[in-house]
Amino acid sequence: MLGNFSYLNATKLYFGDNSLEYLNEELPKYGKNVQLIYGGGSVKRNGIYDEVMKILLANGKNVVEDAGVMPNPTVDKLREGVRIARENKVDLLLAVGGGSCCDYAKAVSVSVNCDDDPWDKYYIRFEEPDCEIVPVACILTMAGTGSEMNAGAVITNHEAKLKIGHVFGENVMPKFSILNPKFTFSLPKRQMVAGIYDIFNHICEQYFSGEDDNTSDYIAEGLMRSLIHSSLIAIDDPENYEARSNIMWTATWALNTLISRGKTTDWMVHMLGQAVGAYTDATHGMTLAAVSLPYYRTIMPYGLNKFKRFAVEVWGVDPVGKSDEAIADEGLLAMEGWMKKLGLNMKISELGATPDMIEGIADATIILDGGYKVFTRDDVVKVLTESL
Ligand code: NZQ
Ligand code: ZN
């Protein structure tokens, strides 16, 4: 295993179908004013809002509502959240929802006590917070992003046509997160599968880098196999607790910084997907699915050994009597078959992208250098065009 690193994960998790009870244990640790952050209303329809509110009131909290966090939260909404937090002197930002609510809470957290505009400071200049942060906690209702146990916060600026993530320090990770797999049962199938592909791709982004023998890769393979297995159960039987709980737990471990230890990591599918998202506002996991195969087929020759290992260890391809290229190809074909079975969008045109957007999306794509091939702008345009 190569690389020098430190490892700490600061988030306490409560997992299982009784996990919300532990909110009673956590709340007394924080001050009276709680900003209750949620999205477009799913938590009201499925009853989670009522359950959470009851516990907050029983613990004597002043609840300040911050509703309407949209999928792919915007910088305008972020500024509104900061204003709410300041006006009410909030002591805890409690996100109840998916990655969007949780990311948004973190972005508010680092901006409440800071004079600069959050977009310029964190998403253009990539500075670190130098002000007091407000603690964040999360009650998760959608499995996918891993935001419940990491310090990432992705914000979209429609005016600038940019969608950018900032990974903050450990102190911005949720102080605690509550993961009840049953809370994900009410997700529409499209969101469930988008989340499943997001999880899978988080693992790929870390796995497809480096040539050394690395424990992180073995863990990644186990996570991928578990996810594939559970996903195939969940698409036929969405209320299968065992499958949904495994998916939820895999999501957390896919992006809680463990499997990136000792890895350079790739993240180019996410850079492409986020740029597509900036232009289309499409569902995050779907943007990743739509660019993945053209991307992986482009980089495969540069990371052939790992793609061969992926085929054999993750997809069970029999390598006997086949060339390395043929084995690697078979692995990607198996992945493609699984993605189609889940019903993912396989083209960015299905998400609203049009040929005239390609140059702009390419401009919005940040190029990273941790993967098997450092892309040129031409490579970006080629992959986007093949994804149309
Ligand atoms: O807004 P409501 O009404 O709550 O509906 C949401 C939303 O429409 C709905 N939903 C969530 N839980 C539900 C439910 N509907 C019914 N029942 C439930 N239990 O699902 C829709 C999508 O929710 P959202 O939070 O947007 O999804 P997701 O968890 O995929 O989060 C996406 C955001 O996270 C960012 C993405 O870029 C995107 O902005 N990411 C964050 C990362 C991180 N923090 O590390 C990494 C990821 O790669 C990703 O970039
Ligand atoms: Zn993602």
Name the domain count of the chain: 2
Residue 354 domain-assigned (yes or no): yes
- Indicate if ligand 1 lies below 6 Å from the C-beta of 256: no
Under 8 Å between Cβ of 37 and 93 = yes
Q: Are residues 251 and 334 in the same domain?
A: yes
Residue 288 domain-assigned (yes or no): yes
CA-CA-CA-CA dihedral for 203, 206, 211, 214, to nearest 10: -70
Q: What is the mean pLDDT of residues 298-314?
A: 98
Of the three residues 139, 154, 183, the one that is the final residue of a domain is 183
Of the three residues 148, 183, 218, the one that is the final residue of a domain is 183
- Predicted local distance difference test score (pLDDT) of residue 2: 79
Atom of ligand 1 minimally distant from the CA of 106:
44
Q: Are residues 159 and 174 in the same domain?
A: yes
Q: How many residues does the chain have?
A: 388
Q: Does residue 1 surpass a pLDDT of 90? A: no
Of the three residues 127, 157, 183, the one that is the final residue of a domain is 183
Residue 136 domain-assigned (yes or no): yes
Q: Are residues 252 and 367 in the same domain?
A: yes
Q: Are residues 179 and 273 in the same domain?
A: no
Sequence-distant (6+) residues with CB within 8 A of 93 are 34, 35, 37, 85, 105, 108, 109, 134, 135, 136, 137
The residue contributing the CA closest to ligand 1 atom 42 is 145
Q: How many CA atoms lie within 13 A of 126 on its CB side?
A: 5
| Ligand 2 center from residue 285 Cα (angstroms) | 6
Q: What is the mean pLDDT of residues 272-298?
A: 98
- Indicate if ligand 1 lies below 6 Å from the C-beta of 150: yes
Residue 5 domain-assigned (yes or no): no
Residue 72 domain-assigned (yes or no): yes
Predicted TM-score (pTM) of the model is: 0.98
Which of 69, 101, 104, 141 for mutating ligand 1's site (highest number of atoms within 8 Å of CB)?
141
Q: Please state, for a pLDDT cut of 90, what percent of the chain lies above it.
A: 99
- Indicate if ligand 1 lies below 6 Å from the C-beta of 152: yes
Confidence of residue 372 (pLDDT cuts 50, 70, 90): very high
Q: Are residues 361 and 289 in the same domain?
A: yes
| Ligand 1 center from residue 254 Cα (angstroms) | 16
CATH number of the domain where residue 67 is located: 3.40.50.1970
Residue 113, domain extent: 12-183
- Predicted local distance difference test score (pLDDT) of residue 3: 81
Q: Are residues 19 and 120 in the same domain?
A: yes
Residue 278 domain-assigned (yes or no): yes
* Cα 39 from Cα 142, distance rounded (Å): 12
List the one residue out of 209, 259, 218, 228 whose CA is nearest residue 331.
Answer: 228
Q: How many CA atoms lie within 13 A of 66 on its CB side?
A: 33
* Cα 273 from Cα 275, distance rounded (Å): 5
Q: Which ligand is nearest to the CA of 165?
A: 1
Residue 1 domain-assigned (yes or no): no
Query: For the segment 324-368, what is each residue's pLDDT rounded down to a tens digit?
Result: 999 999 999 999 999 999 999 999 999 999 999 999 999 999 999
Query: For the segment 17-55, what is each residue's pLDDT rounded down to a tens digit?
Result: 999 999 999 999 999 999 999 999 999 999 999 999 999
Beta bridge partners of 97: 140
Q: Are residues 80 and 122 in the same domain?
A: yes
CATH number of the domain where residue 270 is located: 1.20.1090.10
Q: First vs last Cα of the chain: how many Å apart?
A: 38
Q: Are residues 164 and 17 in the same domain?
A: yes
Atom of ligand 1 minimally distant from the CA of 48:
19
Backbone angles phi, psi at 210, to 5 degrees: 80, 155
The residue contributing the CA closest to ligand 1 atom 38 is 72
pLDDT, the chain, mean: 98
Q: Which ligand is nearest to the CA of 147?
A: 1
The CA angle 27-30-31, to the nearest 5 degrees, is 115
Q: Does residue 215 surpass a pLDDT of 90? A: yes
Which of 20, 101, 108, 142 for mutating ligand 1's site (highest number of atoms within 8 Å of CB)?
142
| Ligand 2 center from residue 296 Cα (angstroms) | 16
Residue 210 domain-assigned (yes or no): yes
Q: Are residues 176 and 218 in the same domain?
A: no
- Indicate if ligand 1 lies below 6 Å from the C-beta of 331: no
Q: Are residues 133 and 202 in the same domain?
A: no
